[in-house]
Structure formats: C-alpha cells, structure tokens
Amino acid sequence: MKKSNPWKALLLTGVAIGVFSTAISAQASAMEASPTQVVTEPSDGIADIVVTAQRRNESMQQVPIAITALSADDLSRRGLGQSNELVAAVPGLEFNPSGGNGATPFIRGVGATNLSTGFESPVAIYLDDAYVGAPPAGFFSLGSISSVEILKGPQGTLFGRNATGGVIQVRTKNPSQTASGNVQAGYGNYDTFSGNMYLNTPLTDTLAVNLAVDGLDQRNGYGRNLTTGLDIHLRSYYSLRSKALWAPSGATTVLFTASYSFAKGDSGLNTATLPGSVNVGGGLDVGRYNSSGGLPADGSRDKETAASLKIDHDFGEVKLTSISAARNIRYFYSVDQDGSIPFVAHSALTANTDVRSQEIHLASSNDSALTWLVGLYYFHSRAAPDPLIADGSSQAPFAATVTNDHQNLNSYSGFADATYKLDSGLSLTLGVRYTKDDYQLEGTRDRVTAAGAVTRTVVSAHSSFSKFTYRGVLAYQIDRDAMLYLSRSRGFKSGGYNLFAPTGAPVAPEILDATEAGFKTEWLGRRLRINGSAFNYDYTNLQVTQVIVGGTITLNAGKAHIWGGELDFETVPFKNLSVSGGISLQRGRYTDFPAGPFYVPNPQPCPPAAPVATPLTGGNRACSLDLKGRSTVQTPPVTLSLATTYTMPTASGDFGVNASYYYNDGFYWDAANQLKSSSYSLLNASLSWTSVDHQWNASIWGKNLGNTYYQGFAALTALRSQAGAAPPRTYGVTIGVNF
C-alpha cells in the first residue's frame, strides 16, 4: 500500500477550508486593504502602533508582552536595510551574520550560532505568518517590508512553532486596490550597487497583485586574501516576491505569496587568525580585514524558493485561518578552515533543506470580555548535506571524508490561548501547548584513501521528543496610558541530530522557564512613551555550538541562569522632531556545564596539567572543562541605542536629518569565555530630501561613520583561533521615485 503524505493531506485541508469559506460567503464586496500597522494619532504625537503579537490587531501598548515594533518608515529613517542591522533598534537583540549568507539572532542571551543543516534557531522567524524554519534563511533584506515585530521571551501558545528565545515576525506589503509603485537605486563605496522596485495593481474589484524586487551587488571587498590576491568580505543578493490578494467577499480573503532569492558571500567564512595565536600551519595574524590560505576563495551560495497560502474567513464571532507554506533552501559553501599554506582542512558542503507547514486556527472576535485562540500545527523538514566533503592533511591517513545523510522531522502540535478582561482593568491570560517531534536519521560516512578505497560507516537512528508548555499573564490596565503585567511561561526547543558528525546520538531539547514583569506607559498627551520590563530565565539543556573540522556540532550544556531588564522610549517634543532609544542590561551564567569545550594552544597540555614554557607550535588542543560560572554566549551586559529624526518642510520639499547611535558592551563568542568581542560603538547618519508632491526622494547616508572595528564572527577550533570582521565605514547615495 502506498504510504500517505501528511503534508499533502493538510495542504488539501487548507484549500478545502478556503473553498468552503468562499461558498458560504454572503456576497461579494470591495476588497479591503491589509491591516494598517501604524496609525498616527494625534498628527503631531507618537504613532499608535498596531501589532499582531497575539494573532489579532491590537495596540502595542495594551499587549502584555515585551515587543519592539518597527514600521517601514522606521526602518527607512534609521537606514536599516538588512535583518542583522535590527540590533541598532532593538534592546537585547544580537543578530550576527555568519556562514556566508546566514544570520544567527539572539534575544536576551538566547539563541544559537549553529547554522548547520537540520537545526532550528531558538528565535523563530516568521515571514508573512509562515515559519521560516532554516538558519541559512535568517539573513534577509528589509526592502518592501511593511513592519517588523520582535517578541521577547518564550513563544508557543499563539504561534505554530515553539520558541525559547522569542519571535521575529516580518510582514511584507500586501496588494491593495490602489495602483502604486516605487523604484529606488543606490550606489556606495566598495563599488556597491543597490536597488529595489515595488509595483501594485488591482486586476478586478476583488483581486490585486504586487511584485517586489530587491538587490545588492558589492563588487569590491573591504579585505584581501594575501595569498591569492583576491578581494574578500563580499556580498551580493537579489530577491523577487509576488503576492496576490483575493477578497471574494467582505468575510473571506485569500493571500498567495511566492518568492525566490539568491545570495552569495563570505561573511564568517573568510576569517583571520587572531593576533597572538598561531594557526595549525604556522601562520600568524595578517590584519583584521585580511586572510590567508591556499584556496582560491571561500564563500557560499544560497538559493531559496518559497510559497504560502493564507485563507481567512470571518464568521462574525469567530475567525478561521489556514496557513499553508513550503520552502526550499539550497545551500553551498567552500571554506579553508585553517588559513595555512598549503591548507590543512578544507570543507565543501552542498545542502538541501525542504520545509512544509500547515497551521489551522480559530480566533474569537475582539468584542467580548473573553478572547481566545485555538489551533493545530504540522511541520515537516527534510535536511540533507549531500554531500559534505572534508579534505586536506587533517584527514590523514585518508584523503577525504564524505558525509551523505539526511534528517526527517515530523512535528505535531496543538495550542490554545485565552484572555479574560474584567471591568476593573484586570485581565488574566492562560495558554497551553503540546508538541511532539519525531526525528529520523539515515546516512553514511565514507573515509576515502588517495587510491580510492572506501571505508563506510552507516548511521540510522530515531528519536522522539514531546512537551507541554504554557504561559500565564496577569495584566492591569490602569488607564488608557498605563499598563502593568506579570507573566510566567515555559518555552521548548526540540533536539535533533548533528548531520556534520552523525553518530546516532541525538541532541536533547532545551527548556526555558521565564518570569517577566513589565510596564507600558504614555505621558504628556502622548508625546512621550516609556516601556520597560525585567526578566528572569532558568535555562535547562541549552544547546551550545562547537566548531569542528568539517563544520559545526551542537552540544547540551546542563543549566544556565539569565536575568536582566530593558527600557525603551520614544518622544515627540515638538512637531517634526522625534527621538527614540533603549537600553538593555543583562547577565547570563552557566550554572551546570561539567564538560564544556575548552582549548589551549599547542603544545600546552589540557588542565589541570601545569603549562609548559615552550613556543607555540600552531593550532589548539581540544580539552573539556567545568564551565560553571562562566558567561553565556552573546549576552552583552549593556547595549544602548539612540536615534533622532528631524524633518524641515520647505517650499522646495521636506529635508530630513537622521542620526542613530548604538553601543555594545561586548560579549563572549564561546561558552568557555576564551574569545571576547570588545565593546564598540556605531554611528549612522543620513540627510534626505522629499519633493513637495512626495514623488521624488534622495538621500546621502553613512554607516559606522567612526570606522569602528568589531567582530561579526569568531570561533576557537583545533586548527586556529579566528575571527571575521564586520563591515567598516560604508556610505553612499540613494534616489527614488514614487508613482
């Protein structure tokens, strides 16, 4: 008998729901525009931000969750063009590019530096309500974005996939019944060309479509491989996205989205040997932005194809939503891991990840004292390095190791969340979730000699993880301008297998128990907004990344404790001037990590043996050490951001000045606290002009104007101590036209 396909069944279920909803709709009516994310009221005060953090449209100031919400205008004014640049506007967020085209978000010290095929991030990214589900897709352009919401703390009783660290929810522009478009083009230093285009048109009175195109081509690098003479630290990408919105009635909407993107680059791959260390081949530091090695070039390529179908039907008291999504990520990289001449360890990976998901949920209207949401979610992922090739003298006595394996994940979950509001202003929220994840690992690992003889190891394993998680929130709406809340929640991130070093032993799931207290306030006739929160995390079995020859693996630490607080503000002291900012204070410590990875430079012995007084011979010795009391990775004690925008209307158009400042107190890249990113500051600024009719615009912009050096990636391996530089000063011009 042919085996049934659960994804196919659920997708057909979603389509059936849409057909049924359309059939029972009363009558056709004019299409409604997508929900507005930001509504300014009053005209010279602070914008009232409408968010969907609880899967319904609500004022951000009345949602008892720590949220940072950014509109398209916010992103444009701050000059934030890529996902990793969001750190400049979000207290407690780290978002470092790595692995060529990927990015690894951390929120409040919770995240993962592992971009390995088959692993998911503790910070879940949703693009137009569809879970992205693959780390290489963590880097994305912010062009044609309508809003970004960053939700902090465990999430799962409202969203399809569970998350321990938080959620980054990205919404792109929906089609509307008003024909419109815009084109922008830019040029910057390092011979960088950029551009984007957005077109929207109605086809009928119930159907509209749009098209968004975005791209960047950096032709000169800000570093050089001194062996090959080639430029390094390069990035290029382009993306296309089209959406069709059909509203056959006032009660039903159907939104179809299709996208394709391509990116290539070498961020986090072309790394430099750190000063004071020696690589395994005897090489030394060659400069912060440079590298060395015998390979022609390090880099990666990433192709992504995605489609989603969202169907909403409003029954009046209840709204039914179906979200079907599919995504394919084809990822390739080639990297010299040691920077020696000749190379000692080279890795080349071709990986393919397919993800499918189906969510169905029912939500009550906002009109009653009791609001609720219940849903079912299915997620399937097939991740396969096909193949991963490791060669070089590090593989001796073999010539190469070839890994071909794949991991299948089938995840099933149900979730429910309800809030009851009393007339006194008190409200109580209770949410629950049950998740069951089934993993299957199959693969081979071939050790190949120079003569072509093969020694094969076959790996086959199965594991299942399940967990109940929850959230409870007590909130008090004092008046329209002030709210207090206290919450307790549990997050769960599943385990999985290390596909770069398959042994059949699974990585255990991690669990985070969070307590949070916060407030949201507005003052001075809504000219000043101040929001704050304090949190306390107990983290169990947290997953920690270790870089090995050939790739990365994930280990489980025992326990950690992370605590801290955040404060952010926005003010409009007078018309045309806005000032905003935030500060995050946090500390994280491992409270149980008995055998964590620790390195000593060769020929030093592992602790507790006494060090030897001999010259360094190159590379590092891998040891293990009790890491209790050491700081958790990527948990800077202090981060600070400040941004100001002034607009001056004139008879020749509106002239704008924007400046933003970001400070990071530094953090550790590794669990043993051997590699530290020093504190650094970034200053960005722009001057802009918009014509009186708002048709034309132009800007001159600069990022990292102080030309600050800071690290975008760093790691310790047996081969060397290494770091990759983040971009130095960049600047350019952009012009655009709206029509």
161-206 pLDDT, tens digit each? 989 999 999 999 999 999 999 999 999 999 999 999 999 999 999 9
Three-class SS state of 77: helix
Boundaries of every domain in the chain = 6-31+39-738
Structure token digits, residue 526: 């809504």
Query: Please, is 185 exposed, middle or buried when counting C-beta atoms within 10 Å of its C-beta (0-12, 13-18, 19+)?
Result: middle
pLDDT of residue 114: 66
For the four alpha carbons of 625, 628, 632 and 636, in that order, the dihedral sign comes to negative
Cα 63 from chain centroid (whole Å): 22
Cα 625 from chain centroid (whole Å): 31
Smallest Cα–Cα separation from 141: which of 186, 47, 75, 44? 75
For residue 330, how many other CB atoms are within 10 A of its CB? 16
In this prediction, the residues of the chain whose per-residue pLDDT falls under 50 are: 1-36, 38-42
pLDDT of residue 10: 40
Cα–Cα dist 83/594, whole Å: 35
Cα-flanking dihedrals φ and ψ of residue 23, to 5°?
-65, -35
For residue 63, give the amino acid letter: V
List Cα–Cα distances, 591 to 439, 630, 650, in angstroms. Answer: 29, 8, 60
Cα–Cα dist 323/310, whole Å: 4
Contact 633, 667 (CB under 8 A): yes
pLDDT of residue 296: 66
* Residue-level length of the chain: 739
CA angle 50, 54, 57 (to 5 degrees): 30
Cα–Cα dist 584/322, whole Å: 37
Write down the pTM of the prediction. 0.90
pLDDT of residue 27: 33
β-strand 123-127 against 166-172: which pairing, if any? parallel
Structure token digits, residue 34: 């997508």
Q: Rg of the Cα trace of the chain?
A: 26
* 677-723 pLDDT per residue, tens: 999 999 999 999 999 999 999 999 999 999 999 998 899 999 999 99
Cα 252 from chain centroid (whole Å): 31
What dihedral do alpha carbons 69, 73, 77, 80 form, nearest 10°? 60
Domain 6-31+39-738, CATH = 2.40.170.20
Contact 389, 353 (CB under 8 A): no
For residue 477, give the amino acid letter: Q
Cα–Cα dist 101/134, whole Å: 12
